[in-house]
Amino acid sequence: MIYQTLNPALGLLEKIYEFSSDKTVETVLSALTSEAAAWRQIPVGERARRVGGLAADLLSRQEELAAMMAREMGKPVGQGRSEVEKSAWLIKYYAEQGSHFLADEAIASEHAKSYVTFEPLGVILCIMPWNFPFWQALRFCIPALVAGNAVILKHAPGVPECTVTLSELFSKHGLPARHLFVDEKQIASIMADRRVAGISFTGSVRTGKILAARAGLHMKKGVFELGGSDPYLVLRDADVAIAARICAESRLINSGQSCVAAKRFVVHKSLREDFENAFCEAMNVEYGDPMENPALGPLARDDLRLKLHDMVQESLNRGARLLLGGSLPNTRGFFYPATVLTDITTEMSVWEDETFGPVAALAYFEEEDDAIALANNSEFGLGAAVFSKDTERAELIARKLDAGFCAVNDMVRSDPRFPFGGIKDSGLGRELGSYGIKEFVNIKTIKVR
């Protein structure tokens, strides 16, 4: 684990950051413990107002932050601008709704007074991924701070400049949130510390399970968002042109590096030729320098690109057929072309595992029950979508899919207003909405006789 800015479009190392010493870790823990005690005493409306001040700062630095993401993890600048705007929306949403979400809830009983109140837990450790370096960190930090908690931000090693920038913004607004550049041993020590009340983690299934077990060992509250292999079902009566366009758009989000992107496509056999033609046309986009805002940027690291290519080759060796892409470019940078594979079976790695890059896997069905079974044939359960002109029938199918979020005739995307998270190996708990802000609070019952 090295905290570094490694430009994925150029393959060039730009800067290495020092690890936080054990002394620094203790200083941050001690300071945040004191700050958390003071922060929780501030009325939730005032906390929300202070947190809300971040939105204007983000928007005023939109171009700078978009370029920062392009330089550190390869996000095309247009998508970076959108991430900043979405992050500002998130902040404004909780600034406006925080007091409402955390208001005491009266419960009728035989007592003179009975209600539920929501109290912060204290210091929460969040371990965040690199693919949406501002949105995903703020997706946890903002509701946690409005709820009255303090935050330790341990961000991904590949986006240290984004991390420092976030930490500086928190400090500017007097918020109890600090970053640390720590290794696995230090993370274990922080989780074991009695001053830390919980953990929020977004990342791989393997690491998530290790951290969940460690949280359980210390009886710490945890929320874990561990990725997905989202199935999109295209029914017999779907509008093929619309479905193909939305499926491709979802598959190419962030150059395919999104947990909630469409990855497996389950299409009615009668639509096979039409869908393949329309989908490949929509997927056939150019990659290039993220600073020039191409449709497809580089993958964040070369090891991720090589792993993705190995998955494609393994599936081809097992009988998959290549419709688009599938070759390693002989160019500088960690680029991989948009790739479409058909004749996929459930034993192939592009079906079984999460493809974190612009690779789409197509399978086909005759009966709707077969489509549901194919969609649910996965260890993941984050998101799913159904395409049909009969929206009532599509909605019934959506209710049968193993996922935390289902869309009809649209793509799945996180939204401040709705709870976000999955089932099975996609994780535990929820972020966002009124549910997410209550994950790291003590839901306390009070009765007065």
Catalytic residues, by residue number, are 225, 259
Neighbours of 281 (CB within 10 A): 14
Distance in angstroms (rounded) separating the CA atoms of residues 98 and 241? 41
Of 136, 206, 155, the closest CA to residue 5 belongs to 155
Q: What is the dihedral of CA 433, 437, 438, 444, to 10 degrees?
A: -130
Amino acid symbol at 109: S
Contact 104, 433 (CB under 8 A): no
- What is the rounded CA–CA span in Å between residue 84 and residue 211? 29
Contact between residue 364 and residue 380 where contact means Cβ atoms under 8 Å apart: no
Rounded to the nearest 10 degrees, the angle between the axes of helix 44-52 and helix 77-101 is 170
Strand partners, 444: 117
**Cα distance between residue 126 and residue 178, in whole Å:** 11
Strand 150-154, strand 405-408: pairing: unpaired
159 and 133 Cβ atoms separated by less than 8 Å:
yes
Cα–Cα distance, 181 to 175 (Å, whole number):
19
